[in-house]
Amino acid sequence: MIIAVDVDGGDYAPKEIIKGALKAAQEYKIGLILLGKKEVIHVHAGHYLKKLPIEIVHCPQTVTFNEHAVEAIKGKPKSAIVIGTSLVKQGKADAFISAGNTGAVLAAAFFILGKIEGVERPALGAIITTRPHIPSLLIDAGANAECRPNHLDEFAHLGNIYAKQVLGLENPRIGLLNNGEEEAKGTKLTLETHQLLKKSKLNFIGNIEGHDISLNKADVIVTDGFTGNIVLKTLEGLGDALLKVRKVGHAIDSAAHLRGRALLADVGLGSMVKGMDFEECGGACLLGVKGTIIVAHGRSHARAIKNAIGLAKRTAEKGVDKLIAEDIKSRTKAGTEGDPKNVNTPV
């Protein structure tokens, strides 16, 4: 297993990215390809380069966060994002991870890897955990701001496969995020999507509301990328706030011998804080392209990068992209579950 890592991308690059990558190489027993400025990587990786299976690929160009995604990809062919994605395309890496410009990572995946045949809109699947040891998948988490009903139906199928393979769920519960549980409630998008999902052979449990996310009512939460990204960042913000609460509780407990940390544990905040910390999952997987691409958070520290690499390893080992392709072929052959209108064909 070889994972390519962009050490140029992210607020804390390259030091934290390299630090996390080295920890992952040691813990997961995998090979790494570090992409970035060769001399910088040598400074931070040091003597580990001889002890671990690490290859360095020099990337003289860097894509910044404020650059236009498509223009950056076309104008900087020697950037870590372009080269890392190309390594996956060439079969020289099993997965690519970047905490850099998300738009550029998505654009590189679309242009270089291409979409799986039958997939119209690849989507970001983000693992969220609001209850201890009970993960859910939020899809789309930000790749597609504007969607049609057939796109959300497609996201549900992509998420279903990922939840089965990576989360280990035998029959994932699919929930459509809406402003009410009633079937007749919502926007034109959610109303029409609801009908498509009802006709599918997925374990569709109906609409779920925002508060149902924390109750783990659904294993796969389906929504458009605009809404999904807001939900994800809201949960991340709440997680950050709870982390601060935990730190305050620790300070109180240490300074005054009060039950600060114990109180957090009593009300369940300790486990909730850990679950809502984005660094626990590491990143979101781009589902629907021919390869494994993990988009890490721009604020990722070493722990987040290590966990993102672990997620990439699990995803690549399961061959999720190939399973998605097989699922589409089987559904298309079967008449896409009896409804010709529900066939997801490329644009």
Looking at the structure, tell me whether residues 61 and 158 fall in a common domain: no
Tell me which residue range forms the domain holding 274: 123-278
Looking at the structure, tell me whether residues 108 and 128 fall in a common domain: no
CATH code of the domain in which 184 resides: 3.40.718.10
pLDDT by position in tens, the chain (length 347): 999 999 999 999 999 999 999 999 999 999 999 999 999 999 998 888 888 999 999 999 999 999 999 999 999 999 999 999 999 999 999 999 999 999 999 999 999 999 999 999 999 999 988 776 788 999 999 999 999 999 999 999 999 999 999 999 999 999 999 999 999 999 999 999 999 999 999 999 999 999 999 888 999 999 999 999 999 888 888 766 766 655 544 544 444 444 444 444 444 445 545 544 556 777 899 999 999 999 999 889 999 999 999 999 999 999 999 999 999 999 888 764 445 444 444 33
Using a 10 angstrom Cβ sphere, with 0-12 exposed, 13-18 middle and 19 or more buried, the burial of residue 240 is middle
pTM of the model: 0.87
Looking at the structure, tell me whether residues 28 and 155 fall in a common domain: no
Rounded Cα distance, 121 and 225, in Å: 11
Is 143 inside a domain boundary? Answer: yes
Is 160 inside a domain boundary? Answer: yes
Is 28 inside a domain boundary? Answer: yes
Looking at the structure, tell me whether residues 7 and 29 fall in a common domain: yes
Is 343 inside a domain boundary? Answer: no
Is 331 inside a domain boundary? Answer: no
Q: Where are the alpha helices (DSSP H) in the chain?
A: 15-28, 38-45, 48-51, 69-75, 80-89, 102-108, 149-165, 188-199, 210-214, 225-256, 260-266, 269-276, 302-318, 320-333, 335-338
Is 333 inside a domain boundary? Answer: no
Looking at the structure, tell me whether residues 259 and 155 fall in a common domain: yes
Per the structure, the count of domains in the chain is 2
Looking at the structure, tell me whether residues 94 and 146 fall in a common domain: no
pLDDT digits (tens, 9 = 90+) for 8-64: 999 999 999 999 999 999 999 999 999 999 999 999 988 888 889 999 999 999 999
Looking at the structure, tell me whether residues 31 and 65 fall in a common domain: yes
Is 184 inside a domain boundary? Answer: yes
Is 332 inside a domain boundary? Answer: no
